[in-house]
Structures are given as C-alpha cells and as structure tokens.
Structure 1
C-alpha cells in the first residue's frame, strides 16, 4: 500500500474528520485545514507529524493561496484532493457553490482523479452552516432552498464512514476511477444531469457538422 498525502479542507468535524481519521490510521499524511485552532489537537497528539494542520477561513482568498503554497513547500507534494457531486449536477439557490465545484471538476478531470459524494449524515448543515436572517423576498424562490439544509427531518442518505472508506480505497485502484459516485442520491443527480445534457446535445449533431469546413484546406 502506497503512502499518500491528501489535502482536505475542514477536518475538525463531519465528513472531513471521518476521512482524516481513516487516512491517519493507515499511515497516510493529511494536509488539513480548520476554522478553529486546537480543534484537532487530539489527532496531532495521537498521530504526530502525519496530520499537517493549518488555520484557514475559505472566504479569505489570499489565505487560501498561501495555505496551499505552504502545504506544497512543507510537504513536498499533494497526491489527492476531495470534491462533491455539486460539480456534475446543480440545485437552485446554490449557484456559487456549484461554480466553485465545476471549476475543481475541470482541473481534476485533467489529473484523472476525482470523487462525487452525495449528502452525508454529518453535523455540517446543522452546526457549521450559518445563515443570515430570512428575507421575505426569498420566500417561494430558489434562494430559499438552502434553508431546507438545516431541516433535521431531511436526513441525508449517505454514511460518512462508508463514503470516506470508499474514497480512501479508490486511491489504491489502478487505474483510479475518473469519477467515483457515492450515495444513491449522488448517482441519481449525476446520471440525471448527464442524460439531460445528452438529450439537449444529441439532436444538434447535424447542425454541428454543418459548420465544418468542406474544403481540404
């Protein structure tokens, strides 16, 4: 089993914490970021130098760049970065989230290594997700969609421990899957989005060919 270095944002709780714990247990290094200094002191005490931890607020764009640069400088390499199905399928009211994920998708497709987890049963949406006061103008619009994320009656399907284990195991597969879909909701969203794109594009085959040059030059 090859030892790898993983870069994971948000390792103090939820999905990131679960994956980090599994990776450290098997001897991999984790370059992880936290919003609260000291929140992973137990992992550092248990695993020594294997967890590389940096304080980071992902809304601090210069800080993001400096943190990534420092991780490469101090660790020498980053082998695996983790993403979500939001880079393949979209939901109303989450355009900025999807824009960032689609950007990661383009980069990751070039490196042929990516993962597409669906919703997981973590406390992120309940404890970590902070929302501003509701605006009446948003009622009944896609902008109100995100407020449903904190509804405890809408329990996600995914098991974070199983998802983390599947992503960790995928790094040992040769060739590694270009995209690893995890969770039945992720599979449904991604396949639905791809079928919709094909349905829009396939009827345009003749029109696309009509714009080809017909001369030999």
Structure 2
C-alpha cells in the first residue's frame, strides 16, 4: 500500500473519508483528524466524529468546541502529517498572478512513512474559475518539487459555482483527466453528490461509510 493511500485513509476530508483497507494497521493519524475546506455546513457533517478538526483561520465554523483548531499562515504538524493552508493570497504568490477568489481554501498535506514521502493537494469545493487555478497550482508545484495526488469534488448537474447544468462537471472531468495524463498523479474524488469515473478512489460520506464504498479504477 502506497503512502498516498495511507494518507487518504488516515484523514477525514471535509465530510468524506476514503475507506481503503489495509492488511496492517496504519500509523499516521488514523482518521482522528478532519481537515475542512470552507464553512458551508454540508462540508462539516460528521466532523464531530474526529478528535481534532483543522479549519482555515478565516473561516467561521458552524459550531465551536475544544476539538477545533484554526490553521493560519504556518503549517500544522500532527503525528506524521503536515497540513498547509493555501488561501487566495498564498496561491497568487505561488503562481505569480491574480486569481478570482476560490470557492474554498486549498490544502497541501505532506506525509512521511519510513523512508517514503508524499504530498497531496486537497480542494474540497470549486467554482468554474477554480478549474484553471488548480491546473496552474499543480503545474507550479510539479515544476519545482513533487506532488503525488489531488483530491477534487466530482459534480453532477449543478447550477451556480460560476456555471450551469453540466458545465462544471465537465470542466472538472477534463481537469482530472489532464492531471492524470500530463502529470502522472493520482486524482481522487469527493462526490458532490455523484462518484467520478475519472477517480482512482471515490470517497464515502463519513456518516454513511458503511453504505458508501470507494472503488478502484
């Protein structure tokens, strides 16, 4: 089992988890940490199951408790994982240009397991304009260092988010396939609400994890 898969299975991503099974117990954070992309309540469902909820400092959570940890400009290290929040300003600094305000915060998650290192870009929700931003962020990161996987939302027909009907779904589909082909990285999906055929792994709702099941392409 790769380190990327271990990281996917070790963290709750907004309201979703990747129920990837292991023959041996993993030793990362074991799903006690949920990392949140923005404050919309449908992304916070089930986070009370995590011991610790990481969220961008600029976000106003729908509830408060001792388990909430706002992440600002500095990375947050938990066990063998490091969480880095990318807000609009940091993304603009990274890619060297102005961008529309993203629908959600981006996260970079770095992990180490024995002698292996891995990095995942997590984008929990998107506008149509964010499709280009994700592509440019991936291009910039891979030009100077490494990136092993991306997590993107997978849409059905949706109005809003800067597009109508299937426009956003088709744009994310095209983006995912481009990332896999051009950059040779794993691309995984958070169903919004439909699973994605382009995904290596589709996440499951943390509340209904027994019903939903990830599948491998």
- Shorter-chain TM-score range: 0.3 to 0.5
- Please say which structure displays the higher CA radius of gyration: 1
Richer in helix (by share): 1
TM-score by length of 1: 0.35
Greater RCO structure (CA 8 Å; 6+ sep) = 1
Richer in strand (by share): 2
